[in-house]
Structure 1
């Protein structure tokens, strides 16, 4: 897997935005109402508000990607981690 720094922030931002657009297009108003009542509910109700769950899952995946690239390699120095985090900040700005 290529390192995150190998990709320009604008490209990463564009790709993440494209993924988000596809998910947000599928969100239905009723799904938002369902989400408020079911997202923290008991097991067995995962089928409710699927479009909202997909958006939340995507956000968790992006967060995990940022965490992994910053902290996943124990041999990474603090200054390298700072560079990686700065790169993600630039992605967010884009």
Structure 2
């Protein structure tokens, strides 16, 4: 997706096949993400904490995950405006 974003950044209207390729790649990412270890960030806190403190640990872990999701969601648009497709390189490295 980073390569497509960099190559076709100013020409999306004239390259609809590249847009469909980006949609297909996003679908593949979602599929692969779902079957990987990534969703363990939601299930693991419930298993790590002992029974006595499990509810408090999960209650702390869940907003922490959402806080970092929010931070990434707020930080991405300015990064895209300033460095363009380099955002993919930043998060990929």
Scaled to the shorter chain, the TM-score interval is: 0.3 to 0.5
TM-score when scaled to structure 2? Answer: 0.36
Q: Hey, which of these two has a bigger chunk of helix by percent?
A: 2
TM-score when scaled to structure 1? Answer: 0.36
Greater relative contact order (CA < 8 Å, ≥ 6 in sequence): 1
